[in-house]
Each structure stands twice: as C-alpha cells, then as structure tokens.
Structure 1
Amino acid sequence: MRIIGGNLRGLKLAEVGAGDPGAHLRPTTDRVRESIFNLLINGTHGNLIPGARVLDLFAGTGALGLEALSRGAARVAFVDDGVVARGLLRTNIEKARAMGVTDVWRRDATKLGENRGPGFGLVFLDPPYGLGLGEKAVASAMAGGWLAPQAMLVWEESTPPAAVPGLEQIDQRRYGDTVVTLLRAP
C-alpha cells in the first residue's frame, strides 16, 4: 500500500499483515483510492481537496486521509476505536511526517457526539462491510454538527447504501466488491 498522488506520492505505508481479525482492517486498494481521488479532483463539483478539513471515519491505516493530505488538504482528523488500527495509523502519520496537521481520535464513529469545532468539508467513511455501521456513523455526524455546509461524503461499502435524508447522492460507482457513493450535505 502506498500514497498514489500529490507531494507524498510513492510513500510506502505500514503493512496490515495478518492484523487483528476483530479489527476488520480492510484497507482501500490503490486502484479504488485512485478512482475516488479522480472523482474528487476531476468531478463536476470541482477539486474538493486543496485546503479541505477532512474527517476520516473508521480510519484504519489512514490511507484515505493521508492521500488527501498529500493532495493539499489542510488538516485530517482520523477516527478509529481499534487498537491495531490506531497503531498502524500513528506509524503512517510518522512516515508521512504529518503530526502537525493530523488528529487521531479514539472514538466510536457511530457515536461521535457533539462537534466543538468547525465542520468538515470532506468526510471519508469506510466501515466494516455489511454491518450497518455506515448509516449509524452518517446519522451521528449529521446530528453532532460534524459536516460543514456542502460537505462531500465518500462512503465505501459492499452494497449501495440506502438513501440518507438530507444528503444528495452525487455519484455511485462499483469497483469489484466495493461500492463508492458520493453524497453532498445541504
């Protein structure tokens, strides 16, 4: 696994290895990540990454958030409650020398609580597949004020998620066993 674009292009990230079966670590493949960033950069909505505040829910290794940093995001907050994931995440943040522009929060992404800072304009959501956690995390983010106006949500799942009241579906694509859905907040 590596960073595929931007100023960190080619940076090799920590290997997941056998990992922890209970952690549900399933990093986004390079191919899917490249497709996601092509949509975010070249889509009809313009390049959403430069200067963005990014929230990476179910962050795992942090590959999505670090890819956004590599391409010009201003700051990334990584949320994961897994011990193994946070260890890999911290290793990858150090490899990217991104300690000053990242936050790592040990928190359940489905129970975010109230956001006390400004909202996030770009949200990555890559929950364990098929457990309904994505719907709960989106509801939690919306209820807690985590989304900036016009925020873009990038949701990876094994099946297309149900429509979310209050969010507009912008795009949806299938890459093998992964469905990527782009949603826009009002």
Structure 2
Amino acid sequence: MPAEVISTTQYLPIVGTMIGGFIAFIAAFATSKFNKDKDELLARENRIRARIEKIYKLLIIIDKDITSDVGKIIKFLHAKTPYKLDDVPELPPLIELEMLINMYFPDMEIIRLDLLRSIQDLTVKIMSCQIQNYHHQAYDLRKVYSDEIFELKSKVNENIESFKKNLIVHVKV
C-alpha cells in the first residue's frame, strides 16, 4: 500500500503544474478578450464621433452657403447686382449629409427632412425672385420679398440648430 501512495504523490507536482498552466492560459485568454473588446468599443466610438463631427461641419457649410445665397439675392433685389451661382463641390454638402444620416443615423432622418424642406422653401423663393426679375419691382414689394426670404432663412437656422442639438444624443463622452 505505501508503494501506491508514493506513486500517486509523485504525479502531484505534474498535475499541479498542468492545473497552474491551464489557469494561466484561461487568465491570459480572458485578459486578451477583454482588451480586444475594449479596443473595438473605443474604435467604434471614435468612428461614431468622427461621423458626428463630419455632420456638424456639413451643417456649418450648409449654413454658410445658405447665408451667402441670401446675401446675394438681397443684393440682387435692392442693389440690382447680378445673382451668380457658386460652383457646386464634387459632393454637395446636402447629399453628403443625406448619405451619412441614411447609413449611420437613420433615426435622424425626420430632422434631416425638416431641414431639407426649409432649404427647399428658401431656394424656391430665391429662385422665384431671380426668375421673376423682382429687382425691377417697387421698393415696398422688394421689401416684402426680402422679409419673406429672411423669415425662410430663420426657419433654416432653426432646423440647423435643432439638428445640432439632436446630434448631442449620439455623442458619448
């Protein structure tokens, strides 16, 4: 009987080493998995943040373009300077905004459509002023058109600000 006890105890260090190695392997695997998941989450959040920043910058560009158009049409109406269209970039900001919203933030589509409608209303008014040659009308009538344009521009500004506020929901600090 003592011979059997000695033979079982002689394997104890080997079994202990194997169990220790297995525990070390599980710990290393768990740590690696945790770090990988953490890195993936951080990368995902950085991609989301970059998209949100791009949308914000597009909103600034859109506002700048609309403000420029309003200034030109007001000069056209009151100073009778020619209305010249700007060159359109390869990918217009409104199209790029639509792409980003449709691909990554579909829950913001209604807000984008509200902005688009307000821009379309303003654009229709600007184009009608130009096409109808309203700059030849009496001052009081041109003032009415100017006031309507400023009112429509105000609506665009409200929609842009609403859009910016809704972007905050998607930002994780």
- Relative to the length of structure 1, the TM-score reads 0.25
**Structure ID, larger Rg:** 2
Structure having the larger proportion of residues in strand: 1
- The structure showing larger relative contact order (alpha-carbon pairs under 8 Å, at least 6 residues apart) is 2
- Whichever structure has more helix as a proportion of its residues is 2
